[in-house]
Copies of this chain bind each other. A is one copy, B any other.
């Protein structure tokens, strides 16, 4: 009887109950810092022991800082394109110049808004260049060179140090058309499939499901943001209880191919 109840609870926990915990005690990250060690130290400080199947969601900002993906604006000379847009949009022309350098294509450059496609294939505001919380008024962070590789390195080191199979999501907050406000999404993924595909599944009436592919990595990143906040230093969250599908295609499957996209 007790065993049966234990089994039932276990099933409940794995499929119908998720816990998200923020790690608030990380120090300011600098180039070359050992991020996996720092994250595990932050776990210890709140008496949190990682378990098999935990998902670590890490904000892009601290990964960029650890990897030295930081630009000193004093070294940047704005082009006349950057200077013109900066003037019309009341922005720092050096920041606009960095945004243009990080772009592979301009999607929209209008009404003070600069939406680009980055060389990774992300479509976002300002190529993911971020001037807040960087540590100096004259520096900005740029996105990691290869966010999936960053996620993979983090995962492998966290797995080696904990002995558990884990997943890692690198996140950033992106805007979207049609809706106000940003949401946190996945820019790098390792250890799990970013999309869950229900195609081929049918409902009880035998009709195929209309909503067939769910971007669970983006949903996990959004869930993590709820404990991260913006003003307190909580750049890492751990999600426990979500039964992810193992995989290592990274965040690439989340990018819609241009020929399948009606909005670029």
Q: A133-B203, A231-B198, A242-B226 are in contact. Are A215 and B181 (CB under 8 A)?
A: yes
The residue from B179, B232, B254 contacting A181, defined by CB atoms under 8 A apart = B254
Q: A113-B262, A195-B181, A222-B219 are in contact. Are A210 and B130 (CB under 8 A)?
A: yes
Q: Judge if A81 is at the interface, Cβ distance under 8 Å.
A: no
Select the residue from A17, A210, A262 with max chain B CB neighbours within 10 A: A210
Select the residue from A19, A195, A208, A211 with max chain B CB neighbours within 10 A: A211
The residue from B20, B22, B137, B208 contacting A207, defined by CB atoms under 8 A apart = B137
Contact in complex: A173, B211 (CB < 8 Å): yes
Which chain B positions have C-beta within 8 A of A32? Answer: none
Q: Judge if A185 is at the interface, Cβ distance under 8 Å.
A: yes
Taken residue by residue from 217 to 259, chain A's Cβ proximity to chain B (1 for < 8 Å, 0 otherwise) reads as 0111011011101111010000000100000000001111000
Q: Judge if A100 is at the interface, Cβ distance under 8 Å.
A: no
Q: How far is the CB of A53 from chain B (nearest CB, A)?
A: 13
